Amino acid sequence: MSALTPEQIEFFFQNGYISIGKLLEDEHIEILRREYDREFAAARKNNRFRNLAISNTDDLSEKNDAPTQMLQIMQMCERNLHYRELIYYDPILDIAEALIGPNIQLFHDQALFKPAHNGDAVFWHQDNGYWQCMPANLVSCWLTLDDADVENGAMHVIPGSHLRPFTHERSSQTDALFDIEDQVEISKAKIVELPAGGVMFHHCQTLHHTPPNHTDRQRRAFAIHFMIPGTKRHNTGEYMPVSFGRPMLRMHI
């Protein structure tokens, strides 16, 4: 039986996102919080994280020390067994299966941390503006370890924006993509507030952004990006298959 109702699946394909609400048990959330904090503490010592903060400098070498912080660890599943287990968590994969079918491969995962007080925004973008994948049918599970609301950095989406790609210009200095807010009909934005342990899914072309966190509450989030095997990625002028080395999460062949 599908993890989503036909109405939920239709909502996703019409709007490009769906909010599921709380999916993780409290004990599981506690373990993931502990491990998240441990990994960020270790990453800070070794400088094995990135600060995506956008508002201060275009120079990547200065970003990790920036006064505003939007911290990212890529591939938590390669650093931590609890996050390795999470990418195989059946209730999440069941939803992914309802959206992209029974063969599911990991594209990548990432921890996205907005510390209290100085957590920076993630500006408006489509994930596939960065990824350049084909077919453009990847889906992401965005999971929060803290209550996420409009004040501390909840997800904002533009319903229906997944139906076409938008042009993303790239910085020649840092390779980062520029904000495309000028192309976004912000009045159409929906805010997806979630409790700790809550998840939402979005399509890889859904325009989304998260605002800064000026509260005294941190906002710890984790995203898992799922693809179908055989997905290709634009690379130096042509589409090349994404590596078969990425973990196969479900296979029904």
Ligand X SMILES: O=C(O)CCC(=O)C(=O)O
List 16, 129, 153, 212, residue binding ligand X (CB under 6 A): 153
Helical H segments across 102-162, by residue range: 127-131
5/96 with CB nearer ligand X: 96
> Which of 196, 230, 214, 216 is CA-nearest to residue 30?
196
Instruction: Report if residue 227 touches ligand X, rule: CB under 6 A.
Output: no
Instruction: Report if residue 112 touches ligand X, rule: CB under 6 A.
Output: yes
Residue with tokens 């503006």: 129
* DSSP conformational letter for 26: H
Shortest reach from residue 253's CB to ligand X, in Å: 29
Using DSSP's 3-state secondary structure scheme, residue 133 falls into strand
Instruction: Give the orientation angle of helix 6-15 with respect to helix 90-100, to 10 degrees.
Output: 70
Q: How long a stretch of residues is the chain? A: 253
Phi then psi for 103, rounded to 5 degrees?
-105, 110
8/124 with CB nearer ligand X: 124
Instruction: Report if residue 223 touches ligand X, rule: CB under 6 A.
Output: yes
242/251 with CB nearer ligand X: 242
List 20, 29, 133, 221, residue binding ligand X (CB under 6 A): 221
190-209 positions binding ligand X, by CB under 6 A? 208
Distance CA 248, CA 203 (A): 20
Instruction: Report if residue 69 touches ligand X, rule: CB under 6 A.
Output: no
List 18, 20, 87, 122, residue binding ligand X (CB under 6 A): 122
Residues that bind ligand X (CB under 6 A): 112, 122, 127, 140, 142, 153, 208, 210, 221, 223
